[in-house]
Structure 1
Amino acid sequence: MTGAVRRVLTRRARGRKTPYRDKVRARMVLLAARRWSNAAIAAEVGVTVDTVRTWRGRFAAQGLAGLADRARSGRPTRFTPVQVAQVKALACQVPARAGAPLSRWSCPELAREAVAQGVAEAMSASTVWRWLAREAIRPWQYRSWLFPRDPDFAAKAGRVLDLYERRWEGRRLGSGEYVISSDEKTSIQARCRCHPSLPPGRARMMRVNHEYERGGAVAYLAAYDVEQARVFGRCAPTTGIVPFMALAEQVMTCEPYASAKRVFWVVDNGSSHRGKTAIDRLAARFPNAVMVHTPVHASWVNQVEIFFSVVQRKVVSPNDFTDLAEVEQRLADFEKRYNATAKPFQWKFTRRDLHDLLTRISEHERQDAPAELPHAV
């Protein structure tokens, strides 16, 4: 036995995370290297003499590779590949379309349905789970989504994505041009808990009382500079044209935006800034401001939504405020903290990704379209 092999076996024999069978085999070989007899090794390790003889022989013939388990044929399969494919195909169907009064499949329900449809006489939920896990099929999970219904979706979204890459109408933006992403986070409530929240402790998470009294709600308007990761925010009792124009006034009257050549405002189609009227209103007040709308139902293109998700996680949840004044103060303090340390978001969705997305959606629409029936003769 070489020194390298001895070190490997010693680590196996002493390792805390080594599987028990590998630890026992390593100990048997190490004791055999010290010229112990098979009977003495069996008594020391707690196995039979035949077991010691087997593993000593395998190590002598193959070295470390001989201490691994050999391939086993295993128990004969009870289900044919056709039955496995039938269960997977059933899992890839909406339960209601398959005739089951369910919203989502679970492994026990799939096993029960497969037996009911005559796929097999009996089937366990764990067996179904193993089949689905191999293909990463999870019919018990779901995610909502929307088909783009804006006829100019590609053009509108493409303009916004170009701005994130500092391009506008095929030209690079200059040093005196900025991109602002803006929106409103509505209905931030002040929930005054009936009992004070308990701080976390050892083996105990933070605890928030379930009962609360409503202290009103406030809207948080924010404008996010996508290049400088700078946020301008303000609170208002509700959203609307007046609060949005107040936010625009807050941004456009400070440098470098007041003297900028152009400032592009990326907004969604909310009532506060919808349509050409909003574009003209902003341009009339600030001639260097250019409003750019995202497509309908495409707020995910607006980068300020990422900032709002940060606010939701770090400021609003869990919601435990005494009144609206505390909500507004917390938001203002967090805004200062964020601006001191924030870095621009690593936006990676480009026009090429948009083209691929729209292509996949078109393919879904084509597949889901009902087949045309032949005309009667």
Structure 2
Amino acid sequence: MWADCWPRLTSNPTRAVTGSPPPDPNFEDKVKDICQVYEQAATRAEHGELTFSLDEMTGIQALERTMPDIAMKPGRCTRIEFEYIRHGTQTLIASFNVATGQVDQATVGDTRTEQDLESHLRALLAQVPDASKIHLVMDCLNTHQSESLVRLVAEREEKPIHLGQKGKTGILLSMATRAAFLSDPSHRLVVHFTPKHCSWLNQIELWFSILVRKLLRRSSFTSQAQLKAKILAFVDYFNRTMAKPFKWNYTGKPLVA
């Protein structure tokens, strides 16, 4: 197992620091739900239910160091050139399998639009056509409550669902109505939203930190294409040699003395 994953915040940072009410009125219920999703992931996987933690890592810079590194010597660490050339950025969309610890789908591109997320999810779902149920842990970004995602969830249901018209009627009326539909536990694809300002509850963020430490922080990239290729190669390497489920100990209780 990876080291125990204790968030470095209280379960309600805003209230602990300022005494003000939580920014999300359903904070405690959402935290409890996500912790239960993580706790039950392995058992659910045995019965054909899969659990994924998904998010986007935006603005990954393709930085080329102007001079090569100076190799380490006895008593001296590797020295990295501080000047660099910018070659643009890429966005990574990744889906982390909570039960296996692998990144089952990684998409690297120029943008993170609603259509990008839809394409990513369709590629992910195509890998697991026999899954009886899919659980997705995501934050409350607007693209995570989009019309495309609602239609994707509706497609997986046995009976047709009347969705209405975006911004006018029915399930597609607003972000609130779309979020309520996406969170419906009776669906074959259920989204579990983290509370506002609580992306730290999303396990994919822990994997992103591994990506930064192992690849991005010290590497040099001559182009966006090379950056993309190295990220995808690292995902493959990680899945083959490093992947383990995170040991999630947080239960939703305040981490205060």
TM-score when normalising by structure 1: 0.51
8 Å CA contact retained: 1:217, 1:324: yes
**SS at structure 2 position matched to 1:292:** strand
- The counterpart of 2:73, out of the listed 196, 201, 219, is 201
TM-score when normalising by structure 2: 0.74
**SS at structure 2 position matched to 1:166:** helix
CA apart distance, 1:208: 1.6
Greater share of residues in helix: 1
Which residue is equivalent to 1:281?
Answer: 151
CA apart distance, 1:146: 4.0
- The counterpart of 2:121, out of the listed 227, 248, 254, is 248
> Which ranges of structure 2 fall in alignment gaps of 5 or more residues?
1-8, 15-21, 158-187
CA distance in 2, matches of 1:272, 1:319: 30
CA distance in 2, matches of 1:209, 1:267: 37
The answer as to 2:33 corresponding to 1:159 is yes
- The counterpart of 1:212, out of the listed 67, 76, 84, is 84
> Which ranges of structure 1 fall in alignment gaps of 5 or more residues?
1-142, 362-377
User: Which aligned pairs between 1:81-96 and structure 2 lie closer than 5 A?
Assistant: none
Calculate the aligned-residue CA RMSD, in Å.
2.4
8 Å CA contact retained: 1:186, 1:220: yes
- The counterpart of 1:304, out of the listed 191, 204, 208, is 204
Percentage identity across aligned positions?
A: 29
**SS at structure 2 position matched to 1:327:** helix
CA distance in 1, matches of 2:34, 2:75: 47
- The counterpart of 1:229, out of the listed 101, 104, 127, is 101
Count, aligned residues: 207
CA distance in 1, matches of 2:232, 2:149: 28
8 Å CA contact retained: 2:115, 2:148: no
CA apart distance, 1:207: 1.6
CA distance in 2, matches of 1:246, 1:279: 10
Which residue is equivalent to 1:268?
Answer: 139
Deviations 1:171-217 (A, max 9, x none): x7461111100001111101112212222233222122111111000
Does the C-alpha gap of structure 1 residues 193 and 224 become closer, same or farther in structure 2, counting only changes over 3 Å?
A: same
Does the C-alpha gap of structure 1 residues 213 and 314 become closer, same or farther in structure 2, counting only changes over 3 Å?
A: same
CA apart distance, 1:328: 0.9
Does the C-alpha gap of structure 1 residues 190 and 161 become closer, same or farther in structure 2, counting only changes over 3 Å?
A: same
8 Å CA contact retained: 1:215, 1:324: yes
Larger relative contact order (C-alpha < 8 A, sep ≥ 6)?
Answer: 2
8 Å CA contact retained: 2:31, 2:194: yes
User: Which aligned pairs between 1:294-373 and structure 2 lie closer than 5 A?
Assistant: 294-341=194-241, 342-350=243-251, 354-357=252-255
**SS at structure 2 position matched to 1:355:** coil
Deviations 1:88-114 (A, max 9, x none): xxxxxxxxxxxxxxxxxxxxxxxxxxx
Deviations 1:51-97 (A, max 9, x none): xxxxxxxxxxxxxxxxxxxxxxxxxxxxxxxxxxxxxxxxxxxxxxx
Which residue is equivalent to 2:47?
Answer: 175
CA apart distance, 1:279: 5.2
8 Å CA contact retained: 1:321, 1:327: yes
**SS at structure 2 position matched to 1:206:** coil
CA apart distance, 1:240: 1.6
The answer as to 2:23 corresponding to 1:149 is yes
Greater share of residues in strand: 2
CA distance in 1, matches of 2:152, 2:253: 31
Which residue is equivalent to 1:185?
Answer: 57
Does the C-alpha gap of structure 1 residues 205 and 162 become closer, same or farther in structure 2, counting only changes over 3 Å?
A: same
**SS at structure 1 position matched to 2:123:** helix
